[in-house]
Chain A
Amino acid sequence: MFEIEIDGKIVNANPGENLITVTDREGISVPRFCYHNKLSVSANCRMCLVDVEGATKPQPACSTPVSNGMRVSTKNDKAKSSQKAVMEFLLINHPLDCPICDQGGECELQDVAMSYSSDVSRFNEGKRVIADSDIGPLIQTDMTRCIHCTRCVRFGAEIAGIMEMGGTGRGDSLKIEPFLQEGIQSELSGNMIDLCPVGALTSKPFRYELRSWQMNAVEGIARHDSVGSNIHIQTYKGKVKRVVARNNDNINETWISDRDRFSCDGLNHENRLQKPQIKYDGVWKETEWDTALVYSTKALLREVIDNKEESKLGALASNNATLEEYYLLRKLLKQVGSDNTDYRLNIKDLSNTINLDSNIKIKDIENIDYALLVGSYTRLEQPMINHRLRKSSLNGATIDVINSMSFNYNLPINSEYILNSSQIANLLARTLKAILLSKEQEIPGYLDKFKVSDADTQLANKLLSSDKSAIILGEHLINSDNSSNIANLISIIAEKTSSSTLNLSETGNSIAAKSTGFVPNENGLDANEMLASKMNAYILLDVYPKYDFHNSVSAINALRDEKTFVIALNSFKDSDVFDYADVILPISSYYETSGTHTNVEGEMQSFSAAVGSPKDIKPAWKVLKVLADLLDLSGFNYTDSSKVTSEAKQQIKQNIEHDREINLINTKGVEIIWQPSPYSTDALLRHSNSLQATKIGQLNTASMSASTAKSLKLSDTDNYLGVPVVISEVVADKCVFISSSNETISEKIS
C-alpha cells in the first residue's frame, strides 16, 4: 500500500489498482459510462479523464494504474475541460428524447449531463438515427440513444458467456446490435438493462409504465431457485412494477437471472384467485374469509379431529412456500396429531431420494480448480451458480460433466460423459473404487464386481489431485432408479477426495421445507403414500397438481375422492382445483408476503412484503395461524411473521443424518428424464407472459438418439408423450430427455 494525492487529499492505494477504484472507495466522484466494476475495463467513453501530474494528456481514471506518489486532479481545468468535451460529444448524436424515454430519471447520461454539459447544443447537423430490430420479448431497444459504452457487449462476452451483442461498422456508423437475427437468448439478458447507462436497452414488459422516482424500492429475495438472489422490488400504489438486481457479493454479485427479474409479470395475471370460495352442495360460491375459514375448521373437526376412528389429515406443499409457511403448517398438523407432511411431489419413489449435503459457499465456487457436474444443466436451472462455475473456469478450473444429455454450456467442458443413469452410477462406483485403490483403502463388497479402467483412474486422479474440487449434483437424476445410490456415491467420493459437494437437486425453497421437518418422520405418510391411502382431509399449500405431481392424473383423482375434504391455498386459479377442492383460499404470491428463503448454502434470508396483498387475498402464514386459532390450537399467538421466523429457526434441522447404503440397480428399457422448462417451475413463472414468450420459456423437446427413436418407432416429425421429438446424438442411448412445460407429461411418464 502507498499514498497518492487526489484533489489535494492524501489517500491510500494498492499497487495494481486503477485510479477509479481508489476514487470510488474514497467517495471522490468521477463521471463514467463505460466503466463497471464487474466488467473488464474498456476505457472507450473517455468520460473519466482526469489530470495526472506529469502526463501531458488527460488520463482515463478507469484504466490508469496508480503509482506511488501520484498526484491527480479530477476537477481542475484540464480535467474538467476534457470531461465537458466528452460530454458534448456524447450528446451531439443522442436524441435527447428524455420525456419519452423509459430511462429518464435513472439515466446515467442524464445525471452526468446535469453537471457536465452546457444547456445549449452547438451541434446543428443532422443527428444519427439507428433503425431498431426486435431482439426478443424482454429487452426493448432504442439504439439511437446508444452511446456505445459496450457494457452490454462486454456483459455478453464476459458474464453471460455468449457474445450476443456486438459492435458492427466503424466510426460514427458503429452500431451495437445482436449478431444474430434470432435476438437475445441468454438466461441473464435482463442484466443488460441494468447495465445500459442510457435508454438504449430498457425493460420491454415495463415499457412506458412508470418513472423510476414514482416507485418505492423494497429489498427482497428471489425464490425461483436455490440461490436466493438479492433483488429490489419496485412498487407503485401497492403493485409490483419491476424487479432489479441488488448487490450481494456473497450470493449474486450485481446480477440476477431473467427468471428472477421478469417473473413479477405474472402477479397481475387475470388468473389470480381473488376471493375465498367454498363448494356447497356441489356448487362453487364466492364467500367471505370468515365463512370460508369457519367452514374449513368445521370440516377439519368433523373429518379429522373429532373423527377418532380414522383420522387421516395430510398436508402437501409446493417447493416454493416460505420457511414460515412450512413451519406453521407442520406445527398445525402435529398439534392435531398428524405427521403427514410432504413437499416432494415430483418424485416417483420417495424411498429412493437424493440425500446430499451441500458444504460449499456460493462465492467460493469461483475458486475451485476442478468441478464434476452430475445431472445438471446449471446454466438454465441455477443461472447464478452457473455464473460462479463459469468464473472458476475462467480462473483456470477444469470442469467435467456427467449427464444423460449434452447441453449448450457457456463454459469450456473438459470431458463429458453422456450416459444413462445406471451407467452414471456405475461410473461413479468405478471412480470410487479407483480412489480407494489409489489410497490403498478397503474396498466395500458392492464395488467387487467393478473393473477399474484407465479412464476411471484418470477421473479419480483429477478429484484426488485437485486442491479445491467440488462435485455438483443437479435435478436431472431425481427420478432415476439409482437416485440415492448416485447421491451416496458422490457423498463418499467427496469425503475420500476432500471435495466439496453442492446439491442442486433441491430447488425453490425446498431446503427450508426440509429444515423445518416438512418431510414425514417414521410416523407419517409421504406424498405418494398419502395419495395411495384414502385421506379424510388435505391442506394443500400452493399446489398445482397438473404441474407439481409426477403422476398428476392419479393425484388429482385421489384428491377428488368424495370422502376427502380438500382445503386448497392457492394464488392462481387452476382449472382442476374446482374438481378436487372443497374450499379455495386465495393466498398472497411472491413479494406480497413476508418470509424466509433458505438457499443451497444454508443462508436464511428473510424478506418483508413489498406490497400488500390485493383485497381479499391473505398471506398464507396468516391463514394458517387463523385456522389454528379457530381449531383452538395453542402456540399460534403470532403478531407478525418474524415471531414465526425466530421460533422456526430455533428448531431448524441442519444436515439430517442418513445412511449411505449403496445397492446399484440396472435400469431396463427406455429411461425418461423429464425436466420442466426453466420458466415453468412455479405458478408465478407460468403466468409471466414475457418469460413464456422467450425461447427458453417455449422449450418443448423430447430429445433422443436415433437408435432410441428407432426402438420407439419414432421420427423427428412425431410427438412423444405430446412433445415434439428431436433426434440428437448427444443423448445417451435408451434415454429420452424431455424439456417441456407441457402439463400433461407427468402422468404419461408414470
Chain B
Amino acid sequence: MNEVCFKNLNEKEPWSLATYEANGGYSVWKRVIKGEFTPEEIIDELKVSGLRGRGGAGFPTGLKWSFMPRNDDGQKYVVCNSDEGEPGTCKDRDILRFNPHSVIEGMAIGGYVMNASVGYNYIRGEFMEPFYRFEGALKEAYKAGLLGENIFDSAVSFDLHTHLGAGAYICGEETALIESIEGKKGQPRFKPPFPANVGLFGKPTTVNNTESFASVPEILSKGGKWFADLGVENSGGCKLFSVSGHVNNPSNFEVPMGTPFKDLLKMAGGIRKGKKLKAVIPGGSSTPVLTAEEAMSMNMDYDSIEKAGSMLGAGSVIIMDDSTCMVEALTRLAHFYYDESCGQCTPCREGTGWLYRVLKRILDGNGKIDDLDLLQQVGSNIMGNTICALGDAAAMPVESFLRNFYSEFEYYIKNGKSMVKDNV
C-alpha cells in the first residue's frame, strides 16, 4: 500500500521539496536533464509499466505520449487535468495536497518526452488548499532551478503554470479544459482533430490526469516492470481509490490493481454498523452501479470490474448500504448531470433535463409505470450521440440503476413512496 503517489504520506511535511528530494524526488528529472534517457526510452518504459490514464478513460499513457508529433516545429503543450469533478472522486486533491512535486516532476518529464516547453496544471475551482500547495511547490521548484529556461545549463526548458477553474464539471473533459485555459466558455470540442494534433491554442497538446503524471517519476526510477508487477495483467501498478459513502472510514487508499473489493471495503472500515451493503458505484458517478453480490466478487482492476458490469473509471468507489433509496439516489445523480451539461449538443442539453424531470416527477409521487421505459429509452438515445462523454455519463447510471433495482422504482411509482424508507 501507498507505494507510488502516496509514498511520502507519513513523512513530515510530505509536500515540501526537502521531503520529496530526501525520498529520491527529482532524481529522474535530473537524469533526464543530463540526457540519460531518450524520449523513446521513457515511452517504452511507460508502455512496459502498463500505466493507464488515471482520469477514468484508462488509455495507455505511453501510447498517448507517443502520439505527439514531438519532432514537428512549433510550440507544444502538456496539460495536467486536476479538475477533479467526478462525484465520488477526491484522489487528485490529495496528491496535490501531499505530493505536489511528483506532479511537477511527472509533467516536466512529459514535457521533455513530448518536446513541449510549457505546461499547464488546470486545478478544480473549488480546490483552494491544493491550489496553494501546488503553487507553493511550483515556487520551490523554480527556486531550486528545477524549472525554467535551460535548466541546470542544459538545453532543456520547461515552464509550468497553474490555472484555476471556475467550477464547471465539464471542464474536466480535456477539450473543454483546453477551451477554458484559452479563456473561453468550457465546452468540449468535437474530435477529430484530437488535441495531439490541434490542442491548446491550436498546438499539439497532451492532457493527462494528475495521478498519471504523479506516477511517472516512480515508474522511471524503479522501472516499468516493477510497476507492472505491482498490479495484475492489463492493469499495471497501483491505483488510488477514493472510498466514500456508507463506510466507517471513508478515505483514499493507494492499493495494487487487482486488490479484491472485499479488502478495500475492509480498509475503509466496512459498512456502517447494523447495515448491509446494497450497491456500489465502483468508478465514479458516471459508471454503472453494481449490486452487492456483483461488487463483493470483483477485484479492483480494469478487467474484473468490467466483467462485473461496470468500469474502474477514476477509482471512485461509492458505497451504498441498505438504507439507500435508489430512486432518490438516481434522481440526485440525474440532477447533477442536468446541472452540469454544457448545453452545446442536443442530446445532452435536452436529454439530461428530460431524465431529471421524469425522475423528479416519480420522486414527487406522480410517476407512471411507462416512465421507466421512457427513462431507459431517453438514456439510450443520449448514449453515443453526443460530442463528449458527459451524455454517456448521464445515461449510464439510469440504465444500470433501472437494470439492477427495477423493482424499487416500480414500487415507488405504484405506491408513491420509497420501498426502502417504508421498511426502515
Please give the residue numbers on chain A whose beta carbons come within 8 Å of chain B beta carbons, in ascending order. 41-47, 49, 56-58, 60, 63, 65, 82, 85-86, 88-90, 92-93, 122-123, 125-126, 128, 147-148, 167, 169-174
Q: Please, which residues of chain A bring their CB within 8 A of the CB of B342?
A: 170-171, 174
Interface status of B404 (Cβ within 8 A of chain A): no
Interface status of B347 (Cβ within 8 A of chain A): yes
- In the complex formed, the residue of B with least CB distance to A64 is B192
Interface status of B339 (Cβ within 8 A of chain A): yes
Partner of B353 from the list A49, A56, A148, A172 (CB cut-off 8 Å) is A172
Q: Are B349 and A174 closer than 8 Å at their CB atoms?
A: yes
Partner of B361 from the list A41, A57, A92, A125 (CB cut-off 8 Å) is A125
Q: How far is the CA of A58 from the CA of B392 in the complex (A)?
A: 13
Q: Are B346 and A89 closer than 8 Å at their CB atoms?
A: yes
Q: Are B190 and A148 closer than 8 Å at their CB atoms?
A: no
Q: Are B343 and A172 closer than 8 Å at their CB atoms?
A: yes
B interface secondary structure, majority: helix
Q: Which of the 9-residue segments B114-122, B209-217, B379-387 touches chain A?
A: B379-387
A interface secondary structure, majority: loop
| Contact A43/B387 with A170-B341, A171-B341, A172-B343 known, Cβ cut-off 8 Å | yes
Which has the most chain A C-beta neighbours within 10 Å: B190, B346, B358, B386?
A: B346
Complex A-B: 15 CB contacts under 8 Å: A43-B190, A44-B344, A44-B345, A58-B384, A65-B192, A89-B381, A93-B350, A125-B361, A128-B353, A170-B168, A171-B338, A171-B339, A171-B353, A172-B349, A172-B350
Q: What is the distance, in angstroms, from A17's C-beta to the closest C-beta of chain B?
A: 13
Q: Give per-residue flags for B332-361: 1 if the beta carbon is below 8 A from chain A beta carbons, else 0.
A: 000000111111111101111110011001
| 15 more CB-based (< 8 A) A-B contacts, given A85-B385, A174-B343 | A43-B190, A44-B387, A45-B346, A58-B385, A60-B190, A85-B381, A89-B346, A89-B347, A89-B349, A122-B374, A125-B354, A147-B346, A170-B340, A172-B353, A174-B349
Q: Are A86 and B358 closer than 8 Å at their CB atoms?
A: no
Interface status of B185 (Cβ within 8 A of chain A): yes
Q: What is the distance, in angstroms, from B359's C-beta to the closest C-beta of chain A?
A: 11
| Contact A44/B350 with A57-B384, A82-B385, A85-B385 known, Cβ cut-off 8 Å | no
Q: Are B346 and A171 closer than 8 Å at their CB atoms?
A: no
Q: How far is the CA of A56 from the CA of B389 in the complex (A)?
A: 14
Q: What is the distance, in angstroms, from A86's C-beta to the closest C-beta of chain B?
A: 5
Which has the most chain B C-beta neighbours within 10 Å: A44, A57, A60, A90?
A: A44
Q: What is the distance, in angstroms, from B375's C-beta to the closest C-beta of chain A?
A: 11
Which has the most chain A C-beta neighbours within 10 Å: B170, B343, B384?
A: B343
Q: How far is the CA of A47 from the CA of B384 in the complex (A)?
A: 13
- In the complex formed, the residue of A with least CB distance to B193 is A65
Q: Please, which residues of chain A bring their CB within 8 A of the CB of B338?
A: 171-172
Which has the most chain A C-beta neighbours within 10 Å: B345, B386, B387?
A: B345
Q: How far is the CA of A63 from the CA of B386 in the complex (A)?
A: 13
Q: How far is the CA of A116 from the CA of B383 in the complex (A)?
A: 19
Q: How far is the CA of A696 from the CA of B417 in the complex (A)?
A: 62
Q: Please, which residues of chain A bring their CB within 8 A of the CB of B344?
A: 44, 148, 167, 174
Partner of A170 from the list B343, B351, B358, B361 (CB cut-off 8 Å) is B343
Q: What is the distance, in angstroms, from A48's C-beta to the closest C-beta of chain B?
A: 11
| Contact A125/B357 with A58-B385, A63-B190, A171-B341 known, Cβ cut-off 8 Å | yes
Q: How far is the CA of A92 from the CA of B353 in the complex (A)?
A: 10
| Contact A46/B341 with A60-B190, A125-B357 known, Cβ cut-off 8 Å | no
Q: What is the distance, in angstroms, from B197's C-beta to the closest C-beta of chain A?
A: 12
Q: Which 10 A-B pairs have the closest CB atoms?
A: A174-B343, A85-B381, A89-B350, A43-B190, A171-B341, A172-B353, A125-B357, A57-B384, A44-B345, A170-B343
| Contact A171/B352 with A58-B385, A90-B346, A125-B357 known, Cβ cut-off 8 Å | yes
- In the complex formed, the residue of A with least CB distance to B340 is A171
Q: What is the distance, in angstroms, from B377's C-beta to the closest C-beta of chain A?
A: 8
Q: What is the distance, in angstroms, from B363's C-beta to the closest C-beta of chain A?
A: 13
Q: Are A44 and B339 closer than 8 Å at their CB atoms?
A: no
- In the complex formed, the residue of A with least CB distance to B337 is A171
Q: How far is the CA of A45 from the CA of B343 in the complex (A)?
A: 11
Q: Are A45 and B345 closer than 8 Å at their CB atoms?
A: yes
Q: Please, which residues of chain A bring their CB within 8 A of the CB of B339?
A: 171
| Contact A173/B351 with A43-B190, A58-B385 known, Cβ cut-off 8 Å | no
Q: Please, which residues of chain B bring their CB within 8 A of the CB of A122?
A: 374
Q: How far is the CA of A170 from the CA of B339 in the complex (A)?
A: 8
Q: What is the distance, in angstroms, from A166's C-beta to the closest C-beta of chain B?
A: 9
Q: Are A123 and B343 closer than 8 Å at their CB atoms?
A: no
Which has the most chain A C-beta neighbours within 10 Å: B357, B381, B385?
A: B385
Q: Are B347 and A46 closer than 8 Å at their CB atoms?
A: yes
Q: Please, which residues of chain A bring their CB within 8 A of the CB of B190?
A: 41-43, 60, 63
Q: How far is the CA of A44 from the CA of B385 in the complex (A)?
A: 10
Partner of B343 from the list A41, A63, A173 (CB cut-off 8 Å) is A173
Partner of B352 from the list A57, A58, A90, A172 (CB cut-off 8 Å) is A172
Q: Please, which residues of chain B bring their CB within 8 A of the CB of A46?
A: 345-347, 385-387
Q: Please, which residues of chain B bring their CB within 8 A of the CB of A148?
A: 343-344, 346, 349
Q: Please, which residues of chain B bring their CB within 8 A of the CB of A126?
A: 357
- In the complex formed, the residue of B with least CB distance to A150 is B344
- In the complex formed, the residue of A with least CB distance to B192 is A65
Q: What is the distance, in angstroms, from A682's C-beta to the closest C-beta of chain B?
A: 42
Q: Are B168 and A92 closer than 8 Å at their CB atoms?
A: no
Q: Are A125 and B343 closer than 8 Å at their CB atoms?
A: no
- In the complex formed, the residue of B with least CB distance to A90 is B346
Q: Please, which residues of chain A bring their CB within 8 A of the CB of B349?
A: 89, 148, 171-172, 174
Q: What is the distance, in angstroms, from A698's C-beta to the closest C-beta of chain B?
A: 33
Q: Please, which residues of chain B bring their CB within 8 A of the CB of A92?
A: 350, 354
Q: Please, which residues of chain B bring their CB within 8 A of the CB of A82?
A: 384-385
Q: What is the distance, in angstroms, from A748's C-beta to the closest C-beta of chain B?
A: 49
For window 168-193 of B, CB contacts with A under 8 Å fall at: 168, 170, 185, 190, 192
For window 140-156 of B, CB contacts with A under 8 Å fall at: none
For window 63-105 of B, CB contacts with A under 8 Å fall at: none
- In the complex formed, the residue of A with least CB distance to B189 is A43
Q: Are B341 and A172 closer than 8 Å at their CB atoms?
A: yes
- In the complex formed, the residue of B with least CB distance to A33 is B346
Q: What is the distance, in angstroms, from B372's C-beta to the closest C-beta of chain A?
A: 13
Q: Are A123 and B341 closer than 8 Å at their CB atoms?
A: no
Which has the most chain B C-beta neighbours within 10 Å: A82, A85, A93?
A: A85
Q: What is the distance, in angstroms, from B335's C-beta to the closest C-beta of chain A?
A: 11
Q: How far is the CA of A47 from the CA of B386 in the complex (A)?
A: 10
Q: What is the distance, in angstroms, from B146's C-beta to the closest C-beta of chain A?
A: 39
Q: How far is the CA of A700 from the CA of B388 in the complex (A)?
A: 50
- In the complex formed, the residue of B with least CB distance to A123 is B354
Q: Are A125 and B358 closer than 8 Å at their CB atoms?
A: yes
Q: How far is the CA of A258 from the CA of B384 in the complex (A)?
A: 41
Q: How far is the CA of A58 from the CA of B168 in the complex (A)?
A: 27
- In the complex formed, the residue of B with least CB distance to A94 is B350
Q: What is the distance, in angstroms, from A393's C-beta to the closest C-beta of chain B?
A: 18
Q: Are B343 and A167 closer than 8 Å at their CB atoms?
A: yes
Which has the most chain A C-beta neighbours within 10 Å: B340, B353, B358?
A: B353
Q: What is the distance, in angstroms, from B186's C-beta to the closest C-beta of chain A?
A: 8
Which has the most chain B C-beta neighbours within 10 Å: A123, A169, A171?
A: A171
Q: Are B343 and A49 closer than 8 Å at their CB atoms?
A: no
Q: How far is the CA of A86 from the CA of B381 in the complex (A)?
A: 8
Q: What is the distance, in angstroms, from A41's C-beta to the closest C-beta of chain B?
A: 8
- In the complex formed, the residue of B with least CB distance to A86 is B346
Q: How far is the CA of A171 from the CA of B342 in the complex (A)?
A: 5
Q: What is the distance, in angstroms, from A124's C-beta to the closest C-beta of chain B?
A: 8
Q: How far is the CA of A89 from the CA of B374 in the complex (A)?
A: 13
Q: How far is the CA of A41 from the CA of B387 in the complex (A)?
A: 13
Q: Are A167 and B341 closer than 8 Å at their CB atoms?
A: no
Q: Please, which residues of chain B bring their CB within 8 A of the CB of A93?
A: 350, 353
Q: How far is the CA of A56 from the CA of B392 in the complex (A)?
A: 13
Q: How far is the CA of A60 from the CA of B347 in the complex (A)?
A: 13
Q: What is the distance, in angstroms, from A461's C-beta to the closest C-beta of chain B?
A: 27
- In the complex formed, the residue of A with least CB distance to B169 is A170
Q: How far is the CA of A57 from the CA of B382 in the complex (A)?
A: 11
Q: Please, which residues of chain A bring their CB within 8 A of the CB of B384?
A: 56-58, 82
- In the complex formed, the residue of A with least CB distance to B380 is A85
